[in-house]
């Protein structure tokens, strides 16, 4: 049920589909990530919520067919945009965050 809701953008009224040129260099994906982070922060500033979704990009051919995205574009991810349903179980889940010492190695 959770995966099905994901593919339906959790009922959000708006979904963004992010795609890059087929010949995008690796750094371009990092730039897209920075762009998306800023979009998400802007949405929060306007009282909206978002959910970036990589799993939906696994259906790139469906997105291409429905949205006329050229075949030479790489579908990277989507993002559901709307007002969060704070009562939904998915929005109450708070994962454990790794401590800094779990992913950083300090060198002298």
pLDDT on residue 70: 96
What is the residue extent of each domain of the chain? 2-102
- CA 93 to each of CA 18, 34, 100: distance values in angstroms, whole numbers, following the listed order: 26, 25, 21
C-beta separation of 57 from 15 below 8 A: no
pLDDT on residue 20: 96
> pTM of whole model > 0.85?
no
The SS3 call for residue 102 is helix
Residue owning tokens 């800094």: 100
2-102 folds as: NADH Oxidase (3.40.109)
Residue-wise pLDDT tens for the chain (108 aa)?
A: 878 888 888 899 999 999 999 999 989 999 999 999 999 999 999 999 999 999 888 899 999 999 999 999 999 999 999 999 988 888 888 889 999 989 999 898
pLDDT on residue 66: 94
CA distance 32 to 29: 5
Kindly state the tokens that stand for 102: 């779990």
CA distance 31 to 76: 12
């Amino acid at each position: 049920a959770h995966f099905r809701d994901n593919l339906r953008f959790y009922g959000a009224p708006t979904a963004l589909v992010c795609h890059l040129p087929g010949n995008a260099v690796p750094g371009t994906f990092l730039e897209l990530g920075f762009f998306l982070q800023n979009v998400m922060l802007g949405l929060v500033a306007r009282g909206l919520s978002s959910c970036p979704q990589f799993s939906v990009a696994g259906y790139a051919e469906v997105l291409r067919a429905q949205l006329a995205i050229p075949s030479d574009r790489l579908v990277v991810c989507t993002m559901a945009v709307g007002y969060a349903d704070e009562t939904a179980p998915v929005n109450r889940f708070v994962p454990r965050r790794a401590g800094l010492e779990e992913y950083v190695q300090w060198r002298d």
